[in-house]
Structures are given as C-alpha cells and as structure tokens.
Structure 1
Amino acid sequence: MRQERNPCVYILASQPHGTLYIGVTSDLIGRLWQHRNGVVEGFTSRYKVHRLVRYELFGDMEHAILREKQLKRWHRQWKINLIESENPEWHDLAAGLGFPPVGPRRIPDGS
C-alpha cells in the first residue's frame, strides 16, 4: 500500500515565546512522533522543542520547501506574529492530531 503524502511546513516551540524550530515533512504525524520520542538526536531533542504551534499544508513538496526556506529567513518577531495570528495562546496543535498535549514547562525557582 502506498502511503499518502501531505507536504507540510511546521513550527515547534519549547514553550510560549520559547525556542522555535521550523521544519518540512511529507508525514507530519510521523515527524511529530520522532520529535517527541527523541528518535533523531539534535536541536529539538536537546532543547525540548516539542510543542506544535503552527503548520501549513501544501499540494506539493516543492512549495513546502520554498515556504520553509522563506520562514527560516524571517526575523524572530515575524515568526511570533505568524504563530499568534492563528494560535495566540500557543496551544499545542498536536493534541488535535491525536497526541497528548505538551504541558507547561516548569522553570526551577530555586525554592
């Protein structure tokens, strides 16, 4: 059976206004699983960037890659504005795709 491809650009965040990661994939569910389970060592596992805060679907991978490159060139505030235009509370959109939501990140307070 041939797997259906859904080209997609996605933005992950470590927490609201935290570290951002922009990626492209043809299998968003599979890629989210990889990020959340630390299957691929690297930036997202090192900085715990697992909250899906935005994704855009495309008809073909070529357009998805062009959009990914465009977003990666943007200033950080433009990326934040883009996220907040449709997800002002920085909810974990992966919950709507069948994943448990990433909870709030706790920062040690020294007490």
Structure 2
Amino acid sequence: MQTIFSPAESRKYQDHPKFAGVGMAMLVAQGKSDLVSVSELVIDPGVAVPVHTHEIQADSIYIVSGQGEALVNQDWTAVGPGDHILVLPGTEHGIRNTGTSPLRLFVHHSPPLY
C-alpha cells in the first residue's frame, strides 16, 4: 500500500450516511486501505451522534475543536480540543455537541468502517 496524502484544501464534506446534522469528509476510505478508515466529522451545535457500538471496529476519536460530551465508560464526560477517546469493539459510545460552534473530530476505525 502506498502512503495516502489528504490535503486540507481538497477535503469534501458530505452528509453522514446515518446521522443528520453531521458532516463527514473521508480521508482514508475503506477501498483505499484494508487496515483503517479515517474521517473528519463536523457535528452541528445541538446535534448528537446517538449511542451505538461497532462489532469489530476499534474507534479512535480525537477532538480538534468545539465543545461536547461523549459517552465514556457509561458516563457522559465533557470533551474539548486535544481530548482523545479510544473505544474498543462492542463498547457503547456516542458524542454530542453542547457548544455554540461546530464540534470537529478526527475518527479512525480499525478495521475500516466506511
């Protein structure tokens, strides 16, 4: 596999396939790697990604900007820029934007989800 470079100026956001009010830009899509998928999510103020699980994917979430709450070990915890969450397969998780500006995240799934 070759190195994959995703310049910021070429990033294209689309509506998330499951969650309204969430924009998604794929940096590494399932077809480009059989190891990982990487996306940037932008969650509008007042919007939540509901509690869910992934059967086989580990989910690594890095908060770039904004304020929110994430379900961490069955408790809602305040999150902000620089915070990181590692969610193991089969573990319930969710995130919601509690701020007044978009909540921006980098999400890494292994194996790929999208």
Given the two structures, how large is their TM-score scaled by the length of structure 2?
0.26
**Whose helix fraction is larger, Structure 1's or Structure 2's?**
1
Q: TM-score, normalised by structure 1?
A: 0.26
Give the number of the structure whose residues are more often strand, by fraction. Answer: 2
